[in-house]
Amino acid sequence: MGWGRRAARLALLVFAIGVGLAWLNREALLRRTGTFLLAADAVAKADVAVVVRGDEIRFDRAVKAAALVRDGWTDRVYVSSALADPAARALAAKGVVLPSAQDDIVSVLMQRGVACERIVVDASPPGGGTEGEMRRLRAFMSSRGLKSALLVTSWFHTRRVKRTAAAILPEFRLAVLASDDEEVAQRWWRQRYVAQTVVEEYGKLMLAKLAISPHFADDPPSEQAPGGVGPPAQCAGADVGVPSASATP
């Protein structure tokens, strides 16, 4: 009985020391937690830049994609469908006309100098999370004979995008780029929205590691042909088309 009590006290002491050391080194541990999620590649010339969906607040991803076109890394931008887009159509049926999240991305791209003929929007059924988006991208790239892409996403999303894209598009040359200030990874816990997002991202990474893929009623088919892929509605009336791989300079 005496040994059991001593063992319990020793375990409690070790635990307390561990907690104390963790507290003293909390900022270093938190920084490591953030930088682990950052898995960005070096930029390289590619057939298309992809605005990975999920940033319809700051639009950093769209701004970054436009800069890639302006700087000559690619000559076109692809914007997938997402579950946020049908909401605009539902509101329109009630007499409330607002642009969809996809429309807003296109607007940012155009205002940052990307010409209509260089923007491709995908109206395929949305859903499926990052995996569903990568499957839509695969269908689009295969149908256009494209071989390479720059996947533009937020810094905290780069590791999961890289993992998912490598599994679904193994035959394509891909580079994952961070759209925002990578230094935020060093201080992510100081901003409420970023902290919430980092915690959520670790949960999603854990599910992926355990090969747990929840299915929802609004998920699209796992394999589908690209539907309604073409220039954005904002370009209606303009003489535009979807360039093929041969159009890349």
* Cα–Cα dist 10/174, whole Å: 52
Whether 10 has a pLDDT exceeding 80, the answer reads no
Mean pLDDT (whole number) for 164-178: 97
Whether 146 has a pLDDT exceeding 80, the answer reads yes
Whether 69 has a pLDDT exceeding 80, the answer reads yes
What residues contact residue 41 under an 8 Å CB cut-off, 6+ apart?
Answer: 162, 175, 176, 177
Q: Let me know if 178 is exposed, middle or buried by CB neighbors in 10 A (0-12, 13-18, 19+).
A: buried
* Cα–Cα dist 167/170, whole Å: 6
Taking the CB of residue 56, how many other CB atoms lie within 10 A of it? 17
* Cα–Cα dist 111/126, whole Å: 25
Q: What is the pLDDT of residue 249?
A: 38
Q: In percent, how much of the chain has pLDDT > 70?
A: 81
Cross-strand bridge partners of residue 174: 149
> At 78, which amino acid appears?
Y
In 3D, which of 47, 101, 57, 111 has the Cα closest to residue 79? 101
Q: What is the pLDDT of residue 16?
A: 60
Residues 82-122: pLDDT tens digits?
A: 998 999 989 999 999 999 999 999 999 999 999 999 999 99
Q: What is the pLDDT of residue 230?
A: 79
Q: pLDDT band at residue 8, thresholds of 50, 70 and 90?
A: low
pTM comes to: 0.83
Question: Could you tell me how many residues make up the chain?
Answer: 249
To 5 degrees, how large is the angle CA 138–CA 142–CA 147? 90
What residues contact residue 40 under an 8 Å CB cut-off, 6+ apart?
Answer: 155, 158, 176, 177, 178, 182
